[in-house]
Amino acid sequence: MAAAATPDKHFPVSWDMFHRDCRALTWRLAGQGPFDALVTVTRGGLVPAAIVARELGIRVIETICVASYGGASGVPDTQQGSLKILKGVTDAILKIGNGSGGRVLIVDDLVDTGKTARVVRDLLPNAHFATVYAKPMGRPLVDTFITEVSQDTWIFFPWDTGLAFQPPIAGGA
């Protein structure tokens, strides 16, 4: 199944909804640990990682920085390009679980096509991978998620949006 060139559906997520979904993710993860460290995929994984780390009492938090979408023009870039690891994880994290990532929790906001997840999963093959949202193409790469959306859906995260007037539907908008 190929990813849609331009998403047909939009799924706006408010801060309250996102926080609730992150806490629901944490409830599911509570029985999966304990975890010695958390690795978050930046930038989208930073917010859910902070919530999950707080709720599970995880103090060792690392980032892996992977760039896959452009989006610098001020509009959402819905096309994934080539992946670049801008910053990997430390040797100390890689050594946890005898170098396999056991007892490491990976957190991201979304698994879409699975390309980013595959890069991270290859570094820490036995880590527990959790995302808040999952699309069908990427879902097999994560162990735990909260909400699945269709592949042709674009999720508007609260840090990407602002409040604005919406004209009434009946007005022909």
Q: Is residue 111 a known part of a binding site? A: yes
Q: Is residue 108 a known part of a binding site? A: yes
Q: Is residue 143 a known part of a binding site? A: no
Q: Is residue 93 a known part of a binding site? A: no
Q: Is residue 109 a known part of a binding site? A: yes
DSSP letters for 100-132: T-TTEEEEEEEESSSHHHHHHHHHSTTSEEEEE
Q: Is residue 114 a known part of a binding site? A: yes
Give the active site residues.
108-109, 112
Q: How many helices (H) and strands (E) does the chain have?
A: 4, 8
Q: Is 1 exposed, middle or buried (0-12, 13-18, 19+ CB in 10 A)?
A: exposed
Which tokens is 155 given? 């999720």
Q: Is residue 43 a known part of a binding site? A: yes
Q: Is residue 21 a known part of a binding site? A: no
CA distance 7 to 47: 24
List, in sequence order, every beta strand (DSSP E) within 17-73. 37-42, 61-69
Point out the annotated binding site. 43-44, 108-116, 154-155
Point out the annotated binding site for xanthine. 112, 155
Point out the annotated binding site for Mg(2+). 109
Point out the annotated binding site for guanine. 112, 155
Point out the annotated binding site for 5-phospho-alpha-D-ribose 1-diphosphate. 43-44, 108-116
